[in-house]
Structure 1
């Protein structure tokens, strides 16, 4: 079955795992930031792979550019410069494409992924200022991604909105037990309430990412209903799942690099993409473990 090409935009896939596959410098805690620091040509290569696969949106490699991943001292000395580098590399790749490719400026979780309790409201604005100042000359819109709570997401949204660029907010969902109902952020907040608050605060689109595909459909349905009742019923709705093997919650930071599920090959992932589009998603792509081959399968399935 083909996909209707008028209904959705194609986002890229995960950056960190692709850099690892390409042979780039890659380790925890720096994750994808290590390549940006030591071998940025790999970052350009990764972006190009997604453009070649059909991605219409590529995301800056700035997910790891936070103090807890690259260190407080390096962030203070080089944070803005590295953010500028991440934005510049993505823009250069997009500019070379023979079609329109947008650049999304990634604003990541500032105090560790999946840990809403670690959010420090007083420290967040200073970190966000560095990232936004470095990225903003190069991006078309902001993608505040892998947010575990509305507290962290709306803080970033307020900072990004000042630039005048559209702001997309993407939440990560509780998925450790394979749950589907009711869909919740990792903070325990209900998806429908989070979507309503996010649109009220000025987001242009709401997405869900870095969770297993099994939990995404319930969130998409809940979000579509909330968007329809919201102040912005034309807001975008996106999904980009990860391919992690299910893991129990852990309080140990950087416990290891998660395993990738063997069942989420391009053909099987495409089945999820079709479901989400049928449920109302207008932006689709992939997160950790979803690579160029998956994006190529989505692109190849479009109605010409």
Structure 2
């Protein structure tokens, strides 16, 4: 795969104008107020597991419209005081899987919450457990155009709300320090983390890894890769709804959340990535309202840095925690 996007010096300066609806803040305030009107106390049940150094808990919390959403909570065995927590959102098509598949954060001393993505979990991995009860109008296969006729009905309104509500739920758990919560994810999960960063105050950090759902207009016009191609397919059939489609997407574009982010971030991108083109990642990073570092993998595609990036994330978080500790001392 050859490079197809801007050069690295051009990416560093790329800060495009991205459409933002006038009622963006009002839309999300209303959405979250409606969701928070439902009882929020999560149900947490210890799960028997062959793991001896990590405790596994099955969590059910209240998401969009009061609907139940599933998550795993992994804790270092024997932990007694509230821990910093990493909340992870998942890549497109995957579910929360099995708890033993993601041990690195709990093995490093963090509480680790892994959110199921409603309606997904059958594209790869070991499955998901959360349905999406909402109906949809005409859409192309996949999730990108479900309910795209209106921001109120769009699929990612429900997903982003679930993600915020998991932060709310995490802050009520005795095992977690509510002042030390980090959100992260790869691809779709990175895009969800960006949205949460723009909707939730008081996060310790944000770790979007090759994030999806950024700068929609450029992504759709630049790459022929899926999932962005789902939007192309939809518009190739519904030729007269282009303006409305992009208006809906503007409520969910990572760039618009970046402008509202209050926590520092560590991004990653790969210069051969045709799934989430690097210019779309830089568009969000360069609009980030506070500090935002980025790791660049010049010769990788959408896999990005994988384990190498996790090592960088762990070091970045350790530095954040030591800085916060020194400040509070």
Where on the TM-score scale, by shorter chain, does this alignment land: which range? 0.3 to 0.5
Larger radius of gyration between Structure 1 and Structure 2? 2
| Higher fraction of strand | 2
Structure with the bigger RCO (C-alpha within 8 Å, sep 6+) is 1
So what's the TM-score if we normalise by structure 2? Answer: 0.34
| Higher fraction of helix | 1
So what's the TM-score if we normalise by structure 1? Answer: 0.36
